[in-house]
């Protein structure tokens, strides 16, 4: 994944993952997406996003039955 940022705001992560900001907050609060608070804003490291995407890909591959 070619990304020029190392840390993303919730709205940036939502755009990358094609979902709403509310979904990102739910992923954070359900410990499915690592993020940390910087003042009032949530910050999401690039590695956290790539790890989440990779986990989804692996989970999808493991649950698909042919």
* Digit-coded pLDDT (tens) for 5-57: 799 999 999 999 999 999 999 999 999 999 999 999 999 999 999 999 999 98
In a domain, 1, yes or no: no
Banded pLDDT at 3 (limits 50, 70, 90): low
**pLDDT bucket at 60, cuts 50 / 70 / 90:** confident
Rounded to an integer, what distance in angstroms lies between the CA atom of residue 58 and that of residue 1? 16
How high is the pLDDT of residue 66? 59
The pTM is what? 0.82
Range(s) of the domain holding residue 38: 7-63
The answer to whether position 51 is within a domain reads: yes
Number of domains forming the structure of the chain: 1
Q: Which residue spans within the chain are E strands per DSSP?
A: 7-8, 36-38, 41-45
In a domain, 2, yes or no: no
Residue 39, domain member (yes or no): yes
């Amino acid at each position: 994944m070619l990304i020029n940022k190392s840390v993303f705001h919730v709205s940036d992560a939502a755009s990358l993952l094609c979902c709403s900001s509310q979904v990102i907050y739910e992923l954070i609060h359900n410990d499915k997406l690592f993020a940390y608070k910087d003042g009032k804003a949530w910050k999401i490291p690039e590695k956290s996003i790539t790890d989440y995407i990779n986990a989804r890909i692996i989970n999808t591959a493991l649950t698909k039955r042919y």
